[in-house]
A and B are shown apart, each in its own frame.
Chain A
Amino acid sequence: MAGIGWRLERLIDAGVAGATVAYATGAAVMTLPWVLTTCVLLSLSALIGSGRTDLALAAVLVNTAFAVAMLVAGPIQIVISRYAADRLYEGRSRAIAAPFCRGLGATSVICAVLAAVALVALGLPPRASLWGAALSAAVGAQWTALAVGNGLCAPTLVLGAVGAGAVLSLLVAALLATVAGLGVPGYAFGLLSGQVLTLAMLLVGILRALPEDSDENARLSPAFRDYALLAGAGLAFNASLWVDKLAARFLVGGETEALHATASTIAWFSTIPCLAWVFVELETTFHRRFREFFLALEGGATLAELQRGVAGLVDEARRLLLGAASVQAAVTLFLELAADPMARRLGLPVDAILPYRFLLVAAGALALGLLGLILLYYFDLRRDAFFAASGIFLGIAVLTAAASVSGVAPGAGTALGCTLGAALTWRRVFRGVAGVLEHTLLGQPFGVASGPPRDGRGTARRPQMRVARGSGNRASA
C-alpha cells in the first residue's frame, strides 16, 4: 500500500538495526497468523500441562478459533485492504475509516458466531465455546487490521503492536493458567488480552493515519462485489494451508497424520526469511518499478516506451522469483541437511524425518506460489489470482489425498501439489505481466464521466485511467 515503501527504504538505509526492523516487519505482516497459531499451540502443553484433561479441550478451542479466524479474515482483509488502497489512490482517504471500522466489526461478529457454532458442534461446553468465540473474534479482527495497518502505519508500530500483543498473551496466559490455576478459561483470557492489545495498537495507528473527518456514508459492500474473486483467492489460499492436514487426517489418520501435521507446522517456519525478503522487495524496488510503469502509461508514454516498461516488469517479476527462490532454497537446503540432527535434538521419531523433508519442499514451493499470487493482486489480475489460488488448493488436496490413498507419505503429495500449484501460478504471473498493457487498456470501461462529451459526435474526452495499483494485500499465510 502507498507509503510504506519509503519507510522501509529509510529503515534499511539506516543500517543493520533498521534493516532488521524492516525485515522483521515483513516477517510479522507475512507470517504472523500462522506463527502465532503455532506458538500458541506449542505453548499449550507447557502452560496447561500435558497431563491435564483440559489440554485436549484447550487444543480444540484454540485450533478452531484460529482456523475460523483465518478462513474468515483471509477474504475480508483482502477486500478491505484493497478498498483502502483504492481510496488512497483516488485521494479519498476520508472514505476509509468508517467502512474499515464496519468491516472490522463484521469480521469480529462473523468469526465469533462461526467459532461458537463450530465449537458447540464439536461438543465443547457453552462456556468454553464463548471463550473460543471471543478469541476468534479478536484474532480475526486483528489480522484484518494488520492487513490495512501494514500499509498505513510505520513498520515500527506494526512490529511493536505484534510484539507487545504476543508477549502479553503468553505472560497473562501463563500467569492465569499456571499461577492462578484458572485452567483453560485463564489461558483463553490471557491469549485474548494480548490479541486485543495488538488490535487496539493497530487501530490507534490506523485511525491516526487517516483524516479525522471520516465520510460516514462511504460503503464497503460494493468492494465485496468488485473484489469477490480476490476474496475467493484469499480463501482458497488460506484453505490450502489446512487442506493437506485434513486430507491426511481423514484418509490416513493415526500416527502418520500426526507426524504429517507436526512436520508441516515446523516446515512452515522455513518460509519466514523468504517471505520477509518478499515483503521488503515488493514494497520497495518492485513497487517503484510498478508505479513508474503506470505513471508512464497515464503520463503519455509511447508504445515503445511502454513495451520497454512491460519488459522491465517481466524482468522484475523474474528477479523476485529468483531472489525468493534463492533465499528459500538456501533455508530449505540447510534444513534438509540439518533434518536428522534436529529430529534427534527435538526427540522426534525417525519416521517424522521423511515427511518433514517433503514438507520443507512443499513450504518453499507454497511461499513462491504466494509471491505469485501477490503479484497477480498487484496487477489486478483478479481472475488469474482466483484460478491460481484455487489451483494450489486443488493441487494440494488432490495430490495429498492421492498419496495418502496410494500408501505414499502424504507429504510427498503435498510437496508435489504445492510445486505444481506454484508453477502454474507463475505461468499465469509471467503471462499476465507480459500482457499488462493490453489488460489495463482493454479493462477500461467506456463512457465514464470525467468531463462533458465534447461535440455530441462520440468524441468523448479520455476518462481517468483505472489502473492496477498495488494494493499491498497479503494472502494471509
Chain B
Amino acid sequence: MPPVEAQRDTAPADVCLVLEGTYPYVQGGVSTWVHDLIGSLPETRFALVHIGPEPGAYKRRRYALPANAVSLRDLYCRESTARGGEVAARLRSALAARHRHARVRGSSRVLDGIRRLHLEDTIDASLLDDLAGGDLPVGAFLHGQAAFDLAMELYERLAPGAALVDFFWHFRSMHAPLVRLLEAPQPAADTYHAVCTGYAGMLAAIWSRRAGRPLLLTEHGLYARERKLELDRADWFRGPGRTVDDSTASALRAMWIRFFRILARCAYTRAATVVSLCEANRAKQIADGAPAERTVVVPNGIDLERLLGAYPARRVDPTSTKRMRVGFVGRLVPIKDVVTFIRAVFLAQQGIELEAKVIGPIDEDRQYALRCRRLVTKLGLAHRVHFVDALPLDRLYSEIDVLVLTSFSEAQPLVILEAGAAGIPVVASDVGACRELLEGGSDVDRGIGPSGIVTRLAAPEETAAAILRLARDPELRRAMAAAGQRRVATFYRKNATIAAYRALYLEGSWQASAGVSSA
C-alpha cells in the first residue's frame, strides 16, 4: 500500500493528526475545525495522516494546507476497486496469495489481537501490543489459513446461524482496513492526535503506544454511536442477487456495532486526554468506556470578530413578517437527515409563505442527494426548496431567517454558533450539544434565555411547528436572536478553544517526557 505523501519537511512533527474521511478532502464542520486549529497554532508543526476508503475516492483537496502542516500522508482502507480487465489480474493475485499463505497455520499477534477485540472485554496495553505486532501482511489476512480459522471461530461464537458467505465478506471488510493501516509506516511525532475513534482512533492509539508518545483524542460526533445509527438504517446487508435473511443481517449488524465500540474503547483506553465538545457527549464517552478522569470538554469556538466583519451585508430584520426564509446548512448526507427537513418544509409551507435553502456540499453521497431532490419534486416543493452547493459566509447568513438542523447525530455544530453570532434563531434536533447551544449549558448560560427551539429526532411535524411558531412570533425571534449573539460572545470564543489545545499539546509533551502514559 504505497502511501501518497506530500512532504514539506522531514523533521519529526510536534503533532501527528490522524483524520478519517475529513480534512482536507471533505468540507464540513470537522474539516473547518481542523483547518482552524492548524492555522491558529502556527508555532506547532503538524503531520497529517488522512484515512480514506480507497485511492481516488476524493478528487481534490477542499482546503489549502497551512504552512505549519509539514506533511500529508494518505492511507487507504483498501486498494482501488478493480473493474473490467483489472478483475482478472486481481483474481490471479488472490490465487497467488492464497497459495503463498495456504500452508501458514501459525498464529499471529495481530490475529490474536483481532480475536480479543471480538471475544474479550478487557482492553489493555497487551491488546494494543498484539495489534501493533506487525506480523500479519494483508495477503496473509485475506488469503491465509490462520485468518480463515479465526473467521470460522468468530462465526461459531458470534453468528453461528448466519450465512457463511456473508459473514466471511463482512469479516474481511471489517478487518482488512485495520490490517492495511497497521502496515503503514508511522510518522514520528511528539503527540498523536486522533479526531475521531474508529480506524483513525485505533491507528493513532497503536502509533502512540509504539512510539511511547501521548495520544490526544478529540471527538466531535461520537463515531461509534454514529456508525450504530448508520448500521441500524443500512441496507448494505443485502448482497447482490439475493436477500440476506434477518438473522444473518442482525448478527452482522451486531458484530459491526460491537467492533466500532471496541475500537472506540481502545482509543479511550490509550488516550491521555479524551476531549468532547459538550457535557452530553462527555457523559456518553464515559458510558462507552472512557476513563472519566481523563475526559474534558473543550467546546468549539468561533472567531466572532471575523464573523461579525462578514455580516454587515445582512439585510434581514429578524422580526420581519415577510416570506420566511429557512435554511439548512450542512453536508447532504443521511446522518444530517435532510429528508426530515424537506418534510418539515412541506408541512410548514401549508401555514405560511416559505422559502427554503439546503446549503452545503452535495457530492459526498450523490445517491442521497438524488433521493432528497426526488422528494422535493414528489412533494411539489421544487419552487420553494433550492439546493445550493456552498455560499460564502457573508451571503450564507444574510439569506436566511431561521436555521434548521435536523441531524440524527451532531457534536457541537459550528453552524449553530455561526447562526447565533449572526442573530439567527435556530431549530435543531436534540442531538449532541444542540440543546446546550440553544438553551444553555450552565445556570449562567441558561439565564441568557433560549436562542432556538429543540425538537425530537426525525420529527418533521415538530420541526414544522417550531418554524411556524418562529414565523408567527416576531418578538420570540428577536429575543432568540439576541440570546444567541450573547451566548456565543460569552461562551464560544475561538481563542479559548485554541488556548485549550495549545495547553493540551504542551501537557501531552510534558507527560511523555515525564514518562506518564496510559495503556
Contact = CB atoms under 8 A, between A and B. Distances in A.
Q: Do A and B come from one complex?
A: yes
Contact of A458 (B144, B163, B165, B174): B174
A297 B165 contact: yes
A447 B82 contact: yes
Contact of A445 (B90, B234, B239): B90
Interface in B139-177: 142-145, 148, 152, 155-156, 160-166, 168-170, 172-174, 176-177
B54 A453 contact: yes
B242 A457 contact: no
B79 interface: yes
B327 interface: no
Indicate the member of A301, A441, A454, A466 with the most B CB atoms within 10 Å: A441
Contacts of A447: 54, 78-82, 90
Contact of B77 (A445, A448, A457): A457
A450 B84 CA distance: 11
A465 interface: yes
A52 interface: no
Contacts of A297: 164-165
B234 A443 contact: no
A442 B98 contact: yes
A298 to B, nearest CB: 6
A226 B88 contact: yes
Given A448-B81, A453-B81, A457-B20, A443 B98 contact: yes
A462 B236 CA distance: 9
A10 B270 CA distance: 68
Indicate the member of A226, A383, A447, A461 with the most B CB atoms within 10 Å: A447
Given A447-B80, A459-B256, A442 B234 contact: no
A446 B94 CA distance: 8
A247 to B, nearest CB: 31
B164 A306 contact: yes
A382 B98 CA distance: 12
Contact of A298 (B145, B165, B176): B165
Contact of B92 (A226, A301, A459): A226
Contacts of B88: 222, 225-226
Contacts of A455: 230, 234, 236
A456 B95 CA distance: 26
Given A301-B164, A461-B236, A462-B166, A446 B91 contact: no
A300 B54 contact: no
Nearest to B99: A383
Nearest to B139: A446
Contact of B161 (A298, A302, A462): A302
B455 to A, nearest CB: 26
Contacts of A457: 20-21, 53, 77, 177, 198-199, 227
B52 A300 contact: no
What band does the interface of chain B fall in when counting residues whose beta carbon is under 8 Å from A? Answer: 35 or more
Given A222-B88, A449-B87, A458-B173, A443 B95 contact: yes
A452 B366 CA distance: 11
B83 interface: yes
B57 interface: yes
A465 B155 contact: no
Given A438-B145, A457-B20, A300 B91 contact: no
Contacts of A443: 94-95, 98, 143
Given A383-B99, A456-B52, A457-B53, A449 B240 contact: no
A326 interface: no
A341 interface: no
A96 to B, nearest CB: 16
Given A303-B152, A456-B57, A461 B99 contact: no
A300 B92 contact: no
B475 interface: no
Contacts of B161: 302
23 contacts: A222-B85, A225-B92, A226-B88, A226-B91, A298-B241, A300-B163, A300-B165, A300-B245, A301-B164, A438-B148, A441-B165, A442-B143, A442-B144, A443-B95, A445-B90, A447-B79, A448-B81, A449-B82, A458-B53, A458-B173, A462-B169, A462-B239, A463-B169
Interface of B: 20-21, 52-54, 57, 77-83, 85, 87-88, 90-95, 98-99, 101-102, 142-145, 148, 152, 155-156, 160-166, 168-170, 172-174, 176-177, 198-199, 227, 230, 234, 236, 239-242, 244-245, 248, 256, 367
Closest 7 CB pairs of A and B: A300-B163, A458-B177, A462-B169, A458-B77, A445-B94, A445-B90, A454-B236
Given A447-B78, A448-B91, 6 more contacts: A382-B95, A442-B98, A456-B53, A458-B77, A462-B170, A466-B91
